[in-house]
Chain A
């Protein structure tokens, strides 16, 4: 069965520090992978997605993620965190074939210290 694991429930970083949020997935075929961000009381905003091709994908707000098939991972990174990045981050895997069901991880809550 498909699943997504985000090992870190909470992460705290200092403003200006680098960030890496971990995501591992279980999926039988080539996965479609996503990172979404959710600010308090808000819906989800797509940061970036991987469908195929270059395994390093760039997203909005300076985020990037790298797909590593051998490790079943899709970790999210940012070189320098801003206070406004404090939010909850969700990794998700989708099915191919045009079916829009996503399986989400439980999320990682990011706190940013000044």
Chain B
């Protein structure tokens, strides 16, 4: 059974740039969620995708967007990067309806200079 994999593991961007983070969900999982974890804090929910559509969103601006593909993999895109976007971005996959039992990847650490 393949776990959740994310890429890249680390990246550095400058303010105003755009970034795309990628996630492959665990085998058999059809739902992908993205979380932002700032240094010293708990993860915060960004959004969730199911059947290639966003079906839940946290308190993040529209410059945070995503996609889910037919194979259930997903992308997180962030436009017009700000310094406060520096964080660990975690992808989690699950089966829709399993009430929050998420399986997390190791994350992509984004640094914005």
Question: Cβ of A96: which chain B residues have Cβ within 8 Å of it?
Answer: 99
Bound-complex Cα distance A36 to B48 (A)? 19
Bound-complex Cα distance A58 to B105 (A)? 24
Do A46 and B56 touch across chains, with their CB atoms under 8 A apart?
no
Closest A residue to B9 by CB, please name it: A41
Closest B residue to A90 by CB, please name it: B42
Q: What is the size category of the interface that chain B forms with chain A? A: 20 to 34
Whether, in the assembled complex, B70 has its beta carbon less than 8 Å from a beta carbon of chain A, the answer is no
Partner of A100, one of B4, B33, B42: B33
Whether, in the assembled complex, B58 has its beta carbon less than 8 Å from a beta carbon of chain A, the answer is yes
Question: Cβ of B98: which chain A residues have Cβ within 8 Å of it?
Answer: 98, 100
Whether, in the assembled complex, A67 has its beta carbon less than 8 Å from a beta carbon of chain B, the answer is no
Do A101 and B45 touch across chains, with their CB atoms under 8 A apart?
yes
Do B99 and A106 touch across chains, with their CB atoms under 8 A apart?
no
Whether, in the assembled complex, A17 has its beta carbon less than 8 Å from a beta carbon of chain B, the answer is no
Do B101 and A106 touch across chains, with their CB atoms under 8 A apart?
no
Q: Which of A82-114 contact B (CB under 8 A)?
A: 90, 92, 94-107
Question: Cβ of A49: which chain B residues have Cβ within 8 Å of it?
Answer: 100-101
Chain A positions within 8 Å of B, measured between CB atoms, are: 4, 32, 34, 36, 41-46, 49, 51, 90, 92, 94-107
Given contacts A42-B106, A44-B90, 18 further A-B contacts (CB under 8 A): A43-B4, A43-B105, A43-B106, A43-B107, A44-B92, A49-B101, A98-B97, A98-B99, A100-B48, A100-B96, A100-B102, A101-B33, A101-B100, A103-B45, A104-B35, A104-B43, A106-B41, A107-B41
